[in-house]
Structure 1
């Protein structure tokens, strides 16, 4: 039994095309729902109305939302990406800064130890200075 003759190449192409369009539709639907929740300018009632419209009548709701608020979607997405990038940069700066601070503490303790080794300060002064550096 040859299955290749029962399912022609054009049939396979159309099946793949419909699956691709269906996945594309689902992705678009979730992006629009995410944009509805992300928009701070919409009130709660407006968000609920858009969400009900998009869920109850999905094809018409997605097309109307895209026509009415599509330009703002790109701006909100860019703002979200910018805020996320700034948060990551701030985290990296804070993390890298703590490493540099630890190095400077080690350097300060090494200098303090050298001063004590030369005899410029006694043990009590060394302990007080060390406490200041560590706290």
Structure 2
């Protein structure tokens, strides 16, 4: 360790960090190329070839030309995911505007107890509701 000064260790760690960050940026650009619905297939292929054959120039040109759209597409995707999650939770909780199965079963039981439904009708409605 005596022949490897602290400054060289610092520079090596910085280069390694920059190398890892470069790959994150490259993958981010590649995923954005495929996520963009406004690009045609040929345009996606051209950007991908440009980014892979001339990685530094290709990625930097992509960021300059389409960087604002990257952020907008990210925000749009997050909003769509949040909305899908919200709908799933509402559906699972039964609060999506329709009555939950528990409420429907309670009404069926009340109708059976009041004599408006026979046992067979109640069982058929209950099986249909739970299916």
Matched, 1:34 2:27: no
Correspondent of 2:66 among 61, 66, 69: 69
Q: How many residues align?
A: 125
- Asked if residue 48 in structure 1 is aligned to residue 45 in structure 2, the reply is yes
Q: Which runs of 4+ in 1 moved over 6 A?
A: none
Report the Cα distance in structure 2 between the residues aligned to 1:74 and 1:31, rounded to whole angstroms. 11
Q: Which has the higher helix share?
A: 1
Unaligned runs of 5+ in 2: none
Cα RMSD for the two superposed structures: 2.1
* 1:84 Cα deviation from its structure 2 partner: 1.2
Larger RCO, structure (CA 8 Å, separation 6 or more): 1
The runs of 5 or more residues in structure 1 that have no matched partner are: 116-120
| 1:101 shift after superposition | 2.3
Q: Which has the larger radius of gyration?
A: 1
Query: Matches of 1:24 and 1:10 in 2, distance apart?
Result: 21
